[in-house]
C-alpha cells in the first residue's frame, strides 16, 4: 500500500500556541508523532505535511495522485474558500477524509460551509486532534475493504 498523506493548511504550524482554548495545547509535531505511532500499529506508511500557501497545498495534492493511497486533510481556513483545493482533490482517486480539530458547526457561520466536503468521503470535526487518528483508522479500513 502506498503511504497515506496527512496534509495541513494555514496556521496549523502554530498549533499549541494559537487559540489553545479552541485548538488545544498539542503541537503539530505532537500530532504527527501520534499519527506515526498509529500508522506503525496499523502497518501503513505515512507522509505528514503542512503549508500556509494555497498553491503549495494544491501541489501536495497533485503529488499525492501518484504517491499516496489516501489523503487525510485539514485544509484549515482554505476549507471555506478554496475551489482550487476542491478541484485538486477531485483529481485524486483514493479515499479523502476531511478533519477539523474544532467543531466548525458550533462556530461562526462562515465556517459552516466547506468546499472540501463536496469531495470528502468522510468529515470529522470537533474531536480535537484525536480526529486525525480517527481519520487515519477510517482510510485504512476503506483501503483494506478495497
Q: What is the distance between the alpha carbons of residues 54 and 39, in angstroms, rounded to a whole number?
A: 27
Nearer to ligand DQA, 61 or 104 (CB): 104
**Closest alpha carbon to 54 in 30, 27, 20, 83:** 83
In DSSP terms, 74 is beta-bridged to 8
Among the listed residues 5, 23, 78, 115, the single catalytic one is 23
Does residue 119 touch ligand DQA according to CB under 6 A? no
- Provide the Cα torsion 12, 15, 20, 24; round to 10°: 100
Q: Which of the ranges 43-51, 59-67, 69-77, 83-91 carries the binding residues for ligand DQA, by CB under 6 A?
A: 69-77
Q: What is the distance between the alpha carbons of residues 145 and 65, in angstroms, rounded to a whole number?
A: 20
Interaction residues for ligand DQA, span 75-114 (CB under 6 A): 76-77, 79, 100-102, 104, 111
Give yes or no: 112 in active site.
no
Question: Is 30 one of the annotated binding-site residues?
Answer: no
Binding-site residues for substrate, in ranges, read: 74, 80, 87, 101-102, 111
* Chain contacts with ligand DQA (rule: CB under 6 A): 11, 74, 76-77, 79, 100-102, 104, 111
Amino acid at each position: 500500500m502506498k503511504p497515506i498523506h496527512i496534509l495541513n493548511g494555514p496556521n496549523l504550524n502554530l498549533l499549541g500556541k494559537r487559540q489553545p482554548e479552541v485548538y488545544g495545547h498539542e503541537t503539530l509535531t505532537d500530532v504527527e508523532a501520534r499519527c506515526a505511532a498509529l500508522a506503525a500499529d496499523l502497518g501503513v506508511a505515512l507522509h505528514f505535511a503542512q503549508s500556509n500557501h494555497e498553491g503549495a497545498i494544491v501541489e501536495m495534492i497533485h503529488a499525492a495522485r501518484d504517491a499516496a493511497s489516501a489523503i487525510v486533510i485539514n485544509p484549515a481556513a482554505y476549507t471555506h474558500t478554496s475551489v482550487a483545493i476542491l478541484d485538486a482533490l477531485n483529481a485524486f482517486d483514493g479515499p479523502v477524509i476531511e478533519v477539523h480539530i474544532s467543531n466548525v458547526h458550533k462556530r461562526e457561520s462562515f465556517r459552516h460551509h466547506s468546499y472540501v466536503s463536496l469531495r470528502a468521503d468522510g468529515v470529522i470535526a470537533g474531536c480535537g486532534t484525536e480526529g486525525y487518528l480517527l481519520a487515519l483508522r477510517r482510510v485504512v479500513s476503506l483501503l483494506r475493504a478495497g
